[in-house]
Amino acid sequence: MRLRAEFTVFPFVEGSLPSYVQAAIDAARASGVRVDVGPLSSTVEGEPDAVVDALGAAQSAAFAGGATRFVLNLEVAG
């Protein structure tokens, strides 16, 4: 089984990628999963333990950097 997770970090800042969003992306990548960055959210996919670890690292980095909200959608990858 593989999981797919989409996460969005708030608040949005129009026209630039806030440092707390970049920190979340970098932390997820450092966990060893592939991160696809979209205009409003980022997606990770992989083995369940790897995805959960990446999400934990991403949310920790986001909040440490000043984010106020971390929204997550998690599903079994088809």
CATH number of the domain within which 34 lies: 3.30.70.930
In this prediction the pTM is 0.93
Tell me: the pLDDT tens digits for 48-71?
Answer: 999 999 999 999 999 999 999 999
User: Beta 34-37 vs 69-76: how paired, if at all?
Assistant: unpaired
Number of domains in the chain: 1
Please indicate whether residue 36 or residue 16 has the higher confidence score (pLDDT). Answer: 36
Which contacts (CB < 8 Å, 24+ apart) does range 29-32 have? 30/57, 31/57, 31/58
Question: Containing domain of residue 68, as a range?
Answer: 3-76
The helix/strand/coil state of 33 is coil
